[in-house]
Amino acid sequence: MKLSLPALAFAGLTAAAPVPAQEAPPDAARLEAMTCREFLALDAAGQATVKAAMQAHASGEPPPGAPLPAPPAGGAASARVVEDRTGAAEGPDTAATEMAAAPGGAAAPGVAGGQNESGKVAPGGTEASVTDEGGDLRLLAMRTSCEGGPDALALNALRAAFGNSL
Amino acid sequence: MAAPFSKTDDSVVVIIGTGAGGGTLANELAQKGISVVALEAGGRYLPEDYVNDEWASFAQLAWLDTRRSDGSFRLARDFAGLPSWIVKAVGGTTTHWAGASLRFQDHEWKALTNYGRVEGASLLDWPLDAAEMDPWYTLAEAKMGVTRTNGQPGLPGNTNFLVLEKGAKAVGYKEVHTGRMAINSIEYGGRQACQQTGFCFQGCKWGAKWSTAYTEIPLGEETGNLEVRERCHAARIEHDDKGRVTGVVYFDASGVEQRQAARIVCVAGNTIESPRLLLNSASSMFPDGLANSSGQVGRNYMRHVTGSVYSIFERPVRMWRGTTMAGIMQDEARHDPSRGFVGGYELETLSLGLPFMAAFLDPGAWGREFTSAIDGYENMAGMWIVGEDMPQETNRVTVDTAVVDQFGLPTPVVHYDDHPNDVAMRDHAYERGIAIHRAAGAVRSLPTPPYPSTHNIGTNRMSDNPRDGVVNRWGQTHDIPNLFVSDGSQFTTGAAENPTLTIVALAIRQADHIAREMGAGNL
Ligand SMILES: Cc1cc2nc3c(=O)[nH]c(=O)nc-3n(C[C@H](O)[C@H](O)[C@H](O)COP(=O)(O)OP(=O)(O)OC[C@H]3O[C@@H](n4cnc5c(N)ncnc54)[C@H](O)[C@@H]3O)c2cc1C
Ligand code: SF4
């Protein structure tokens, strides 16, 4: 069933089709297969690189120059993934917890990059957030989308982070 | 194309109510080729009709017929005529709900066994367990597109979540994320992703949040096997001299009394209206109401241990931006009697708009203390407590024959007293909630009393033994084989989790059972 909402006029934008595999650069397969567990296992710089590459990939744009980071030593299993009660993957602290304290900011896509009441464009449409997180709001949105859902595709977390604006 | 069925067609299944339970059941049965007439007291409102304004939306969709609260809980004083927040519309309360979709924890299916006897509480084990429910939960999660299940990514966190996350981690909690939400984080089921507009409680204008109003109901209607009769208020259920139900008498949109014949009747009017309907259907054969040989109809009303913590920070939070409830801290949901109570609770992010905040922050309050809190609204973060309350036989829905509604029907009275376990849990949760916000930098915290009940459960409880409850493990009444209960009133105990995912899973399971039994000629 398709909803006959005017709002759904935007629907086609929410999940931009990935570049078909045969035309895609060699990293594309890795980006498409990367899980949230793997994404969260990367350090902050690695996550930023992956996010930029995924953003380009999902928008059908050429990849940015930076090479994708290697998976962390010990593999994805070393990531500390905030897990739900029914899951199991708990490991030593690395990326996920680092990110929580790292630069970030208000993450929700609908508010990110918005115009705040004082008229200046502020991260996440907020003044400096009480969380003291600044920086890449979409990355923070992707991180919060991924946490607690280690098996989701990181590319889908990127889509969730961008909402309609990818 | 919706099928119009004759009112004398006694081959149809009649479902009363089209919310989480009734709407899901209606579609599931229709998909199996079973003819269904769904009677719905409210009108049909779709996303384009919803209003992004708290009180206007409440006036549009909430159930405002006469009801009365009674008992020692604060709600009876603060909102005497509004014990619960339930919706009267096609889609029921799934239009206003927030979408939090959690499974019960394994031990919660067997509360009596795991908690032991608690004085004053009527704890009972469900006749079901986690293993039996697992496949039904999986189906429900797939149907509803629940985030963090079936590969769906989580929703991105808003600032209210970031505050919760920062504080919770600072005090040592681990299970913190943006929740399992029946809100699309990416396009799914022909519906688009959440736009973070923040009006989840008012009906989602984007259709990103699952609601039977625009998912299950139209899907069922497309089969040609489902007819939804809007603005049709069921007044009583009739039976034959063998004690089997035969039809439902209702008032149509013009207030004219009608009767729909039925092979099977499924009651899904929510935890207050469902027992009311059974009680109002009393007859010479069933003088205490239908399915009430145990005297349990209306008893063990539960509403979860609730309450909120709002805190004011030095800088703006603007908690109203983004999803209303996509944030959860689950570490306290475990059963750990060393905290001074049995069962557990979840802490979930919550934001109210300014109009609701003024009404609910401290009902009846005034003066500088109150106005300065409202002045701090922009800098406020909020969270909601959802904990397992103790079932008590005396917490119950009865009908007042002296006060009748617009159709001349006796009206419901909701009696509720907190159990000491509930009070201990709420106090613990307030303390932990404040600690979380303080750890994130809060300068002032405001523990806030419960609002009109959004989680209404119990009153037609499920039990193995007919003496202990109203329905069996299939939601079929112990007394009348072709009468089912299909909503949250079936709950034996409440668990710490928001109830709707379980209501939907039970409805899918019940549809399977009804179809099988009809096929075998047993119903
Ligand atoms: C603001 C809010 C937020 C919530 N958030 C969450 C959440 O995040 N997660 C969660 O799990 N739950 C949440 N809930 C609770 C959730 O909405 C309910 O648990 C769920 O909808 C109950 O399903 P139900 O089938 O029992 O009843 P409902 O969904 O209420 O459906 C009952 C239907 O029956 C109709 N009806 C009643 N009597 C009659 C009659 N006599 N004749 C005809 N029709 C009748 C009503 O009009 C209504 O449409 C929330 C509720 C509210 C109000
Ligand atoms: S925040 Fe998302 S789910 Fe809530 S009303 Fe807006 S679009 Fe719908």
Contact B157 A124 (CB under 8 A): no
DSSP A93: -
Instruction: Name the residue range of residue A72's domain.
Output: 5-10+27-102+114-162
In a domain, B393, yes or no: yes
The percentage of chain B sitting over the pLDDT mark of 90, rounded to a whole number, equals 96
pLDDT score of B2: 55
| pLDDT averaged over every residue in chain A | 63
Instruction: Name the residue range of residue B80's domain.
Output: 13-519
Element (H, E) at B111: helix B111-115
Strand partners, B37: B14, B227
pTM for this prediction = 0.91
Residue A20 has pLDDT above 70, yes or no: no
Report residue B62: phi and psi, to 5°.
-70, 155
| Mean pLDDT, residues A62-86 | 61
In a domain, A109, yes or no: no
Give the burial class of B299: count Cβ atoms within 10 A of its Cβ; 0-12 exposed, 13-18 middle, 19 or more buried.
Answer: buried
Report residue B311: phi and psi, to 5°.
-130, 150
In a domain, B7, yes or no: no
| Mean pLDDT, residues B378-392 | 97
pLDDT score of A26: 63
Distance B91 CA to ligand 1 centre (A): 8
Q: Which residues of chain A lie closer than 8 angstroms to B163, CB-CB?
A: 130-131
pLDDT score of A133: 53
In a domain, A15, yes or no: no
Sign of the alpha-carbon torsion through A21, A23, A29, A32: negative
In a domain, B4, yes or no: no
- Domain count for chain B, please give it: 1
Q: Which residue of B has its CA nearest to A80?
A: B174
Residue B514 has pLDDT above 80, yes or no: yes
In a domain, A132, yes or no: yes
Tell whether A80 lies on the interface with B, counting CB pairs under 8 A.
no
Residue A13 has pLDDT above 60, yes or no: no
Tell whether A126 lies on the interface with B, counting CB pairs under 8 A.
yes
pLDDT score of A66: 82
Tell whether B58 lies on the interface with A, counting CB pairs under 8 A.
no
pLDDT score of A80: 41
Q: Does the C-beta of B487 come closer than 6 Å to ligand 1?
A: yes
Using one digit for the tens of pLDDT, what is the confidence trace for B62-103?
Answer: 999 999 999 988 888 888 899 999 999 999 999 999 999 999
In this prediction, the answer to ipTM > 0.85 reads yes
Name the band, by pLDDT with cuts 50, 70 and 90, for residue B20. Answer: very high
Asked if B273 contacts B410 with a C-beta cutoff of 8 angstroms, the reply is no
Residue A22 has pLDDT above 70, yes or no: no
A63, HSE (Cβ side, Cα atoms, 13 Å): 19
Contact A84 B185 (CB under 8 A): no
In a domain, B8, yes or no: no
Note the Cα B88 to chain centre separation in Å: 13
| Mean pLDDT, residues B215-241 | 98
Name the band, by pLDDT with cuts 50, 70 and 90, for residue A1. Answer: very low
In a domain, B6, yes or no: no
Name the band, by pLDDT with cuts 50, 70 and 90, for residue B304. Answer: very high
| pLDDT averaged over every residue in chain B | 97
The percentage of chain B sitting over the pLDDT mark of 70, rounded to a whole number, equals 99
pLDDT score of A7: 38
Distance B193 CA to ligand 2 centre (A): 9
In a domain, A108, yes or no: no
Asked if B342 contacts B421 with a C-beta cutoff of 8 angstroms, the reply is yes
In a domain, A17, yes or no: no
Find the ligand nearest to B51 CA.
2
Using one digit for the tens of pLDDT, what is the confidence trace for B124-159?
Answer: 999 999 999 999 999 999 999 999 999 999 999 999
Q: Which residues of chain B lie closer than 8 angstroms to A14, CB-CB?
A: 186-187, 192-193
pLDDT score of B76: 85
Q: Which residue of A has its CA nearest to B213?
A: A3
Element (H, E) at B403: strand B396-404
Q: B424: domain CATH number? A: 3.50.50.60
- Domain count for chain A, please give it: 1
d(CA B164, CA B181): 17
Q: Which residue of A has its CA nearest to B196?
A: A110
| Mean pLDDT, residues B455-479 | 98
Q: Does the C-beta of B97 come closer than 6 Å to ligand 1?
A: yes
Q: Which residues of chain B lie closer than 8 angstroms to A142, CB-CB?
A: 156
User: Which of B147, B190, B314 has the CB atom closest to A1's CB atom?
Assistant: B190
